[in-house]
Structure 1
Amino acid sequence: MAARFIVEADGGSRGNPGPAGYGAVVRDGDTGQIIAEAAEFIGHATNNVAEYKGLIAGLKAARELDPDASVDVRMDSKLVVEQMSGRWKIKHPDMQPLAAEARTILPRGRVTYTWIPRERNKDADRLANEAMDAGKAGRQWEPRKPAAAKAVATAVVAEPPLETAAPKAGWAAEADLGTPTTFVLLRHGETPLTPQKRFSGSGGTDPELSERGRWQAERAAEALAARGSIQAVVASPMRRTRQTAEIVAARLGLEVRYEDGLREVDFGAWEGLTFAEVQERHPDDLAAWLGSAKAKPTGSTESFTTLTHRAGVARDKILARYPGKTVLVVSHVSPIKTLVRLALGAPPDALYRMELSAAALCAVQYYADGNASLRLLNDTSHLR
Structure 2
Amino acid sequence: MKYKLEWKYKLKGKNPVLFTSDWMEGELALELGGDIEKSGKSAYLSFTDQMGTSWTIKEMKKLLTEIEEEPNDLIVYFDGGFDKSANRGGLGTIVYYRQGKKKFRLRANQVFDEMESNNEAEYAAFYYAMTMLEELGVRNTPCEFRGDSQVVIKQLEGEWPCYEDCYNRWLDRIEAKMEKLALLPQYTAIPRNENKEADKLATQALEGKIISSKMQII
Q: Please name the residue that 1:142 is paired with.
A: 210
Contact map agreement 1:38 1:57 (CA 8 A) in 2: no
Cα–Cα, structure 1 residues 4 and 96, in superposed 2: closer, same or farther, change >3 Å? same
Q: Over the residues paired in the alignment, what is the CA RMSD in angstroms?
A: 2.7
Shift of residue 62 of structure 1?
1.9
Kept after mapping to 1: 8 A contact 2:140/2:183: no
Task: Kindly indicate whether residue 163 of structure 2 is the aligned counterpart of residue 96 of structure 1.
Answer: no
Aligned counterpart, 1:40? 110
Secondary structure, aligned partner of 2:158 = coil
Larger Rg: 1
Which residue of 1 is the match for residue 148 of structure 2? Answer: 76
Q: Which residue of 2 aligns with 1:8?
A: 77
1:112 to 186, 192, 202: 186
Do residues 53 (structure 1) and 124 (structure 2) align? yes
**TM superposition shift of 1:34:** 5.1
Instruction: Tell me if 1:130 matches 2:200.
Output: no
Higher strand share: 2
Contact residue 139 and residue 183 of structure 2 kept, 8 A: no
Corresponding residue SS for 2:171: helix
Deviation at 1:122, TM superposition (A): 1.1
CA contact (8 A) 2:80 2:91 kept: yes
**1:1-384 matched pairs, under 5 angstroms:** 3-15=72-84, 18-28=87-97, 35-45=105-115, 46-65=117-136, 66-107=138-179, 110-134=184-208, 141-143=209-211, 150=215, 316=216, 320=218
Q: How far apart are the structure 1 equivalents of 2:89 and 2:135?
A: 25
Of structures 1 and 2, the one with the larger relative CO (CA 8 A, separation 6+) is: 2
TM-score by length of 2: 0.58
TM-score of the superposition, structure 1-length normalised? 0.34
Quickly say closer, same or farther: Cα 1:16–1:80, change in 2 above 3 A.
farther
Question: 1:109-137 CA deviation, whole Å, 9 max, x = no partner?
Answer: 61111100001111111110011111xxx
Relative to 1, partners in 2 of residues 1:84 and 1:32: Cα closer, same or farther, differing over 3 Å? farther
Runs of 5+ unmatched residues, structure 1: 135-140, 151-315, 321-384
Structure 1 residue 144: Cα displacement: 5.3
The alignment of Structure 1 onto Structure 2 pairs a total of residues equal to 144
Structure 1 residues 89-98 or 64-73, which shifts more?
64-73
